[in-house]
Amino acid sequence: MSRSQVSGWPIALFAIPFAAVLFGIVMISSVSLYPDDVVADDYYKDGMAINQQLKADERARVLGLTASIDLLPEVRISIPGATDSAVRLNLHHVTDERLDRSWVLVPETDDTYSGAEPLAEMLTTQGIWYVELEGIDERWRLRARVIAPSEAFRLVPSV
């Protein structure tokens, strides 16, 4: 056996564990820098809230509520038949929790609400969003999945 054949084996034997350690460090740093926002922290609490959400969806259907949201030239949210003193608009990004926003909107007229001007900027840029509109007393809820950019969309009761 020549000397050049023997000297390659120690390098190969050290390279495999070194690569595993290096890969482990990369994975740990990746997980700590970019946590998964899609996974819920408290599954039990989320599960208990599902029945309340389903009742809110059913209440919106019984009341016959729908909402039209126009983003341009200015944000206008029309909810015919709504009698709430205010409504809450929740905007959830599909993958990035840091982009989620919530606004409390007050009525301008009987069925038109305003107060969410940043909504237009967010929904006219690229992305997928979940929009949820609920009465301030949380007795009804309308929601939709919106693929941006969008200038107008409609929220209807979930079935």
pLDDT band at 6 (very low <50, low <70, confident <90, very high): low
Average pLDDT of span 26-53: 77
Average pLDDT of span 128-147: 88
| Comparison of pLDDT for 128 and 6, the residue scoring more | 128
Question: Does the pLDDT at position 25 exceed 90?
Answer: yes
Q: Which of 8-17, 40-49, 129-138 has the lowest mean pLDDT?
A: 40-49
pLDDT band at 148 (very low <50, low <70, confident <90, very high): confident
Average pLDDT of span 70-96: 85
Q: For the whole model, what pTM was predicted?
A: 0.67
Average pLDDT over the chain, rounded to an integer: 83
pLDDT band at 130 (very low <50, low <70, confident <90, very high): very high
Q: 3-class secondary structure for the chain? A: CCHHHHHHHHHHHHHHHHHHHHHHHHHHHHHHHCCCCCCCCCHHHHHHHHHHHHHHHHHHHHHCCCEEEECCCCCEEECCCCCCCCEEEEEEECCCHHHCEEEEEEECCCCEEECCCHHHHHHCCCEEEEEEEEECCCCCEEEEEEEECCCEEEEECCC
